[in-house]
Amino acid sequence: MSETETYEQSDDQVSASEIEVQRRPQKVKGGHHRRAEPTSLTELQACPMAVSCFQYMSCYEFCERISRIQHHRELDRLFVLHLHDGHVNLAGVDFILTPEVISQATGIPNVGEVWNKRKVLDTVQIEPFIRPAFLRLLTGVFPFRFLKREYAPMMRLIMRYFTCEGRFSQIYSYHIRILMHFTRVRMMNILVFFYQNIERMVSIMQRKCPAQQYRSLYHYGLIQLVVLHQLAQRGISWEEFISREIFTPLPLPHPEVVHEEGMNI
């Protein structure tokens, strides 16, 4: 029996009480979020399926680049706070943010279908990724455990590197859409997805006080790769740039990032 067949068999073995729990209204809870991308490839390399899929879609190099940097929260906060119409000036240096620039910084090709985060997939497109026992319980948002087990490790990595919500308990249409991309079902433009996420984050953060801004911040590594790429083009070293006084971090109100789970990110 193949590995896939083993998963399929275990996916069918769901008790009636387990299904009944899923029918009950679920309360959405806040909590500690891990919204920064992984700084090590250990988790990714432990999932051969994800390694193969990321490599095929030219996204593995992005993960490698992420693993080589150290997140700088204050740089990311200031970049998002001062970003207007794809332009930002930090410490006297002008930066540009476009899908093309993100492509150059990450090594991800600028190809594929543009997919807005709030678009919804048809149920028939989601069903191939769902455990059979839960098909009749599908809604627009559903528990992570509905996902077939062979896809669960890669979905967690998609959430760590590409969506960066920081929570892993619920699945939205855009998670499945990205999974479709990496499983070669339907190509998606990851760069436009990144760009739209940052634009959405800008609209949220620019209305908040500094203490609240940290709680809405994500895509730390992605932003830093964009900055590093453009610094290199200008012949400015990271050490010299980040030592400028503007990047002295504000005191954090709490050591962990806390954010309500859901779409408001």
pLDDT, residue 179, reads 98
Q: Give tens-digit pLDDT for 30-49.
A: 444 567 899 899 999 999 99
b/e sequence 21-37, b meaning 16+ C-beta within 10 Å:
ebeeeeeeeeeebbbbb
**């408001």: which residue's tokens?**
264
Residue 96 phi/psi, 5° resolution? Answer: -120, 140
Q: Give tens-digit pLDDT for 174-197.
A: 999 999 999 999 999 999 999 999
Q: Which of 96, 116, 118, 99 is nearest to 108 (CA)?
A: 99
pLDDT, residue 166, reads 83
pLDDT, residue 66, reads 96
pLDDT, residue 1, reads 39
pLDDT, residue 212, reads 84
Question: 129 and 176 in contact (C-beta within 8 Å)?
Answer: yes
Q: Which helix (H) or strand (E) holds 112?
A: none
pLDDT, residue 261, reads 46
Sign of CA dihedral 218, 222, 227, 230: negative
- Residue 161: CB atoms within 10 A of its CB come to 23
pLDDT, residue 32, reads 45
pLDDT, residue 206, reads 85
pLDDT, residue 3, reads 38
> Which parts of the chain have pLDDT scores under 70?
1-34, 249-265
Residue 69 tokens read as 């940097």
